[in-house]
Amino acid sequence: MKTRVRAKVVGRVQGVGFRPTVYRYATQFGLCGFVCNGPHGVTLEVEGDDNNVGAFFNCLTHEPPRQAVITDIKTEVLGTKGYRNFEVIESEQQGLAVVHISPDLATCDDCLKEILDAKNRRCGHAFTNCTNCGPRFTIIRDVPYDRKRTSMAKFEMCEPCEHEHHNPHDRRFHAQPNACKRCGPVLQLRVEGGSTSDDADLAKTKELLRRGRIVAIKGVGGYHLACDALSAESTARLRSRKQRPHKPLAVMFRDIAAVRELCEVNEAEEAELLSVARPIVLLSRKLTETRLARGISPDTNTVGAFLPYTPLHHLLLQDFQALVMTSGNLTDEPIISDEAELPTLLGPIADAALIHNRSIVHKCDDSVLRVVNGQRQFLRRARGYVPNPIRVAAPGTPHILAVGGELKNTFCLVRDGQAFLSQHIGDLKDYKTYSYFSCEIESWKRLMRIEPQVIAHDLHPGYLSTRFAAIARIPHKVGVQHHHAHIASVMAEHDLHDPVIGVALDGTGYGTDNTIWGGEFMVADRSDFERVAHFKAYRLPGGDKAVEEPWRMAVSVLTSEGLEEAGMRKFSAIKWGLVEKMTKAGFNSPWTSSAGRLFDAVAAILGLCDVTSYEAQAAIRLESIADPHVTDRYPFIVQTWDRPWVLDFGQTIRAILTERRQGVAAGAISAKFHNTIADSIVHTCRFVRGQRDLNIVALSGGVFQNELLLRRTVEGLQSRHFRVFTNTAVPLNDGGLALGQAAIAAERVKRKCV
Ligand code: ZN
Ligand code: ZN
Ligand code: FE
């Protein structure tokens, strides 16, 4: 029996070799018809023997192209039409485009073989790609995904490339960024005060790196600053020129064997490193290995490791075991992606720049994650994951824009219940970052065909994202409390709808009482929350100044606990006295229940960090010295005579001072402090469970990036039979905030409270 079936396939089905696969299966089963990219995904018709049509769909759904994600497939049986062959036809471009755009994909093994094969016409070609790999999101100007709507438009394919592009049996069939040495982008090496351009550019670049120079290298989502990671001297020079004394630098290793040689890496971590997203994965250094420059991460024993993800990287790394590859930007500014901005890097920081003439449409940083208890934890979500959607609500919700927080900003667009979280944008207080933020929002709205009816924002009146929301011409505005958004991001990820006990620990977030929160326990659903407990509030002497200078928090905590410890006065008596007075008078010293600041205070009391050079440095140092074998803890009190309850660590601080005086090792004190906080969380959750009959705990907020704290807390809660959830798809720092805001806005729309 002959039949004709039309199918509409929705999901990530463009830019991933979907049509060639359809073609291959159709011809394999002797079917006629067509396939094309449409506004909703892929549309196809197959006609032929109905057993074969069945086999065709079986193959397509069970063995789709490697990078494809089919979210829905709707089929319709129709009368036969008498097609003569199977064709791949041009994209239709009308109506609403709701097709998912693919993230950038790391070079596949087939392409890698070609660039290393002396006999292949792509040998040494830095821009080799195919339908399974290559740039996607970062080169797309509009949808549907076709070469003319990407930054490859200006490169006209040569005859052999054109042939591949049109040959359904070729791996490069409809590979939009297809290119070769003859027709593709070209590299150029720029040295200060002159430029050269020939085939030897790559060789010259390697020579410079070997000689210890710093080279700015154009990548997929922006520039990297590269130097030899095995050279202490080069690394130190890069640090001093970038004015970044301590913050860890990412290291690109030649291959997985090179990683294994220098770092501790388990199976789950290897899978992440080798995944097509090629994120930076935080690993521990091998204790016996000293080749990797110590200066890469002076504060910790970890290394942010990643593997080559473009042909250019593979070719460069042939000659090096590991290169430092840190974002090409100035502190707090967005990553540089355009040659016009190159003078910021070339000269002041880099000795040379390896550029090329394919433009970057969307800046996109490398993603950073680590594996904790076998689960992925994002510290930064960008290249390789963006713009993959996350489900937040039932389809049918109106279009929503959530603008996120202030630091580590990301924004989020919602359509049909799918949330599209943007790449890491950065710190909006920087003007360039703010304009990157507003340009990307416009660009994403166009790409996703989203016209927001609702805008969700933080309650902090001073955040630039809040001000952006205030002036946006969007009819419905939804203010979302910072920590509620953190908890809602966990609920959205794990599809939790019933109320949970939310524990949000972070640095700062604006509270509903106009003070700064950050050690929060709430009973929350997706629409509302009740603050049931919080860390005891202390003064923040000097406001933001106290965030940068943890010693001020030490003064504040000691003063308000009446612990005027003479031994602690290592700072000039004048400065100490001044801050003490500020604290007592409350002058320019807002109240804060921040957990992050309590960690700062303890780190400063132990003499680990008085002034920070990057965010959370004090807490990172405190964690890195903790002795994991120590299991006891200090006393603490949960005051329950008033609501909300207060977690009071006054006794903890007192005990720390005593032990310090007795000469107990700082590593033991740090561990006991971590255990105390974890225990206090478990304790408080048990109180809440007793009163509210809730058994699910959601953990979020940047303080839980502290691995020791997270492990101890999760272990403690699980041993008391709580079900514990935390963020795995988005960062648990403020980079995940927009997802939570979007989820809350979607729920409030559903309940008609907007
Ligand atoms: Zn490939
Ligand atoms: Zn070509
Ligand atoms: Fe936060």
Q: How far is the CA of 73 from the centre of ligand 1 (A)?
A: 26
Q: How far is the CA of 163 from the centre of ligand 2 (A)?
A: 9
For residue 568, the model assigns a pLDDT of: 61
Contacts 24+ apart (CB under 8 A), 235-241: 235/293, 235/295, 235/296, 235/324, 236/293, 236/295, 237/212, 238/214, 238/324, 238/326, 238/349, 239/295, 241/214, 241/348, 241/349
Rounded Cα distance, 175 and 133, in Å:
9
Mean pLDDT confidence for 636-645: 96
- pLDDT tens for 479-497 read 999 999 999 999 999 999 9
Q: Which range is least confidently modeled, 135-149, 262-276, 361-375, 485-499?
A: 135-149
CB burial of residue 676 (10 Å; 0-12, 13-18, 19+): buried
Tokens 């970890």, residue located: 302
Rounded Cα distance, 657 and 655, in Å:
5
C-alpha to C-alpha distances, 85 to 25, 76, 608, 738, nearest whole angstrom? 13, 20, 73, 48
Domain coordinates in residue numbering, the chain: 2-88, 101-185, 187-369, 371-494+734-750, 516-525+532-726
Class of domain 101-185 (CATH, top level):
alpha beta
Residue type (1 letter), 739: L
- pLDDT tens for 697-718 read 999 999 999 999 999 999 999 9
Q: How far is the CA of 407 from the centre of ligand 1 (A)?
A: 36
Q: Answer for the pair 223, 345: CB distance below 8 angstroms, yes or no.
A: yes
For residue 95, the model assigns a pLDDT of: 46
Indicate which ligand has the atom closest to the C-alpha of 181: 2
Rounded Cα distance, 549 and 560, in Å:
18
Q: Answer for the pair 478, 748: CB distance below 8 angstroms, yes or no.
A: yes
Indicate which ligand has the atom closest to the C-alpha of 170: 1
For residue 196, the model assigns a pLDDT of: 61
Q: How far is the CA of 159 from the centre of ligand 2 (A)?
A: 7
Q: How far is the CA of 340 from the centre of ligand 2 (A)?
A: 27
Q: Answer for the pair 489, 736: CB distance below 8 angstroms, yes or no.
A: yes
Q: Which residues contact 290 (CB under 8 A, 6 or more apart)?
A: none
Q: Which two tokens stand for residue 290?
A: 């000293």
Rounded Cα distance, 184 and 172, in Å:
14
Let me know the angle formed at the C-alpha of 711 by 705 and 716, rounded to the nearest 5 degrees.
Answer: 130
Surrounding residues of ion ligand 2, Cβ less than 5 A = 158, 161, 180, 182-183
Mean pLDDT confidence for 203-208: 95
Q: How far is the CA of 703 from the centre of ligand 3 (A)?
A: 9
Dihedral over Cα of 387, 392, 393, 394: its sign: positive
Q: How far is the CA of 560 from the centre of ligand 3 (A)?
A: 25
Element (H, E) at 682: helix 666-692
Q: How far is the CA of 314 from the centre of ligand 1 (A)?
A: 13
Give me the CATH topology for the region 516-525+532-726. Answer: Nucleotidyltransferase; domain 5 (3.30.420)
Q: Reduce the DSSP state of residue 585 to 3 states and report it.
A: helix
For residue 36, the model assigns a pLDDT of: 87
The pTM (predicted TM-score) of the whole model is: 0.92
Q: How far is the CA of 729 from the centre of ligand 1 (A)?
A: 26
Strand partners, 375: 372
C-alpha to C-alpha distances, 737 to 87, 428, 483, nearest whole angstrom? 45, 14, 9
Surrounding residues of ion ligand 1, Cβ less than 5 A = 108, 111, 130, 132-133
For residue 194, the model assigns a pLDDT of: 65
Q: How confident is the model at residue 15 (pLDDT cuts 50, 70, 90)?
A: confident
Report whether the peptide linkage leading into residue 499 is cis, meaning its omega lies within 30 degrees of zero: no
Mean pLDDT confidence for 417-437: 95
Let me know the angle formed at the C-alpha of 520 by 519 and 521, rounded to the nearest 5 degrees.
Answer: 135
For residue 592, the model assigns a pLDDT of: 97
At 476, phi and psi to the nearest 5? Answer: -110, 125
Rounded Cα distance, 555 and 540, in Å:
10
Q: How far is the CA of 180 from the centre of ligand 2 (A)?
A: 4
Mean pLDDT confidence for 209-214: 96
Q: How far is the CA of 141 from the centre of ligand 2 (A)?
A: 22
In the chain, % of residues over pLDDT 90: 84
Q: How confident is the model at residue 93 (pLDDT cuts 50, 70, 90)?
A: low
Q: How far is the CA of 412 from the centre of ligand 3 (A)?
A: 16
- pLDDT higher for 631 or 566? 631
Q: How far is the CA of 124 from the centre of ligand 2 (A)?
A: 14
Q: How far is CA 537 from the centre of its chain?
A: 31
Mean pLDDT of all residues in the chain? 93
Q: Answer for the pair 474, 672: CB distance below 8 angstroms, yes or no.
A: no
Mean pLDDT confidence for 62-77: 90
Q: How far is the CA of 147 from the centre of ligand 2 (A)?
A: 14
Q: How far is the CA of 185 from the centre of ligand 2 (A)?
A: 10
Indicate which ligand has the atom closest to the C-alpha of 172: 1
Q: How far is the CA of 558 from the centre of ligand 3 (A)?
A: 25
Q: How confident is the model at residue 567 (pLDDT cuts 50, 70, 90)?
A: low
Q: Answer for the pair 18, 9: CB distance below 8 angstroms, yes or no.
A: yes
Rounded Cα distance, 373 and 268, in Å:
10
Strand partners, 10: 72
Rounded Cα distance, 722 and 698, in Å:
10
Class of domain 371-494+734-750 (CATH, top level):
alpha beta
Tokens 């003499």, residue located: 607
Rounded Cα distance, 345 and 241, in Å:
10
Q: Which range is least confidently modeled, 64-73, 338-347, 557-566?
A: 557-566
Q: How far is CA 447 from the centre of its chain?
A: 20
Q: Which residues contact 431 (CB under 8 A, 6 or more apart)?
A: none
- pLDDT tens for 344-366 read 999 999 999 999 999 999 999 99
Mean pLDDT confidence for 660-667: 94
Strands (E), 13-90: 32-38, 41-49, 69-78, 86-88
Q: How far is the CA of 172 from the centre of ligand 1 (A)?
A: 8
Q: Which two tokens stand for residue 35?
A: 């396939």
Given this chain, do its domains 2-88 and 187-369 carry the same CATH topology?
A: no
Indicate which ligand has the atom closest to the C-alpha of 310: 1
At 5, phi and psi to the nearest 5? Answer: -125, 130
Q: How far is the CA of 151 from the centre of ligand 3 (A)?
A: 36
Rounded Cα distance, 302 and 299, in Å:
9
Surrounding residues of ion ligand 3, Cβ less than 5 A = 506, 509, 734
Strand partners, 70: 11
Q: Which two tokens stand for residue 591?
A: 């109240």
Mean pLDDT confidence for 647-659: 96
Mean pLDDT confidence for 51-65: 94
- pLDDT tens for 285-307 read 998 888 999 999 999 999 999 99
Indicate which ligand has the atom closest to the C-alpha of 184: 2
For residue 41, the model assigns a pLDDT of: 84
Instruction: Give me the count of residues in the chain.
Output: 754
Indicate which ligand has the atom closest to the C-alpha of 161: 2
Q: How far is the CA of 178 from the centre of ligand 2 (A)?
A: 7
Q: How confident is the model at residue 100 (pLDDT cuts 50, 70, 90)?
A: confident
Tokens 């920070």, residue located: 612
Indicate which ligand has the atom closest to the C-alpha of 175: 1
Indicate which ligand has the atom closest to the C-alpha of 105: 1
At 470, phi and psi to the nearest 5? Answer: -60, -40
Looking at the predicted structure, is the pLDDT value of residue 230 above 90? yes
Q: How far is the CA of 107 from the centre of ligand 2 (A)?
A: 18
Q: Answer for the pair 300, 624: CB distance below 8 angstroms, yes or no.
A: yes
Q: How far is the CA of 638 from the centre of ligand 1 (A)?
A: 58
Indicate which ligand has the atom closest to the C-alpha of 482: 3
- pLDDT tens for 526-551 read 999 999 999 999 999 999 999 999 99
Rounded Cα distance, 266 and 745, in Å:
39
How many Cβ atoms are within 10 Å of 408's Cβ, its own excluded? 21
For residue 96, the model assigns a pLDDT of: 46
Looking at the predicted structure, is the pLDDT value of residue 99 above 70? no
Tokens 């005027």, residue located: 564
Q: Reduce the DSSP state of residue 158 to 3 states and report it.
A: coil
Strand partners, 581: none
CATH of 187-369, one of 3.20.20.370, 3.40.50.300, 3.90.870.40, 3.60.9.10: 3.90.870.40
Rounded Cα distance, 260 and 638, in Å:
46
Q: How far is CA 38 from the centre of its chain?
A: 30
Q: In CATH, what is the architecture of 2-88?
A: 2-Layer Sandwich (3.30)
Q: How far is the CA of 194 from the centre of ligand 2 (A)?
A: 29
Q: How far is the CA of 482 from the centre of ligand 3 (A)?
A: 6
Q: How far is the CA of 729 from the centre of ligand 3 (A)?
A: 16
Q: How far is the CA of 252 from the centre of ligand 1 (A)?
A: 20
Alpha helices in 495-549 (DSSP H): 544-548
Q: How far is the CA of 565 from the centre of ligand 3 (A)?
A: 32
Q: How confident is the model at residue 145 (pLDDT cuts 50, 70, 90)?
A: confident
Q: How far is the CA of 151 from the centre of ligand 2 (A)?
A: 16
Q: Answer for the pair 41, 108: CB distance below 8 angstroms, yes or no.
A: no
Rounded Cα distance, 628 and 624, in Å:
10
Looking at the predicted structure, is the pLDDT value of residue 576 above 90? no
For residue 425, the model assigns a pLDDT of: 97
- pLDDT higher for 267 or 169? 267
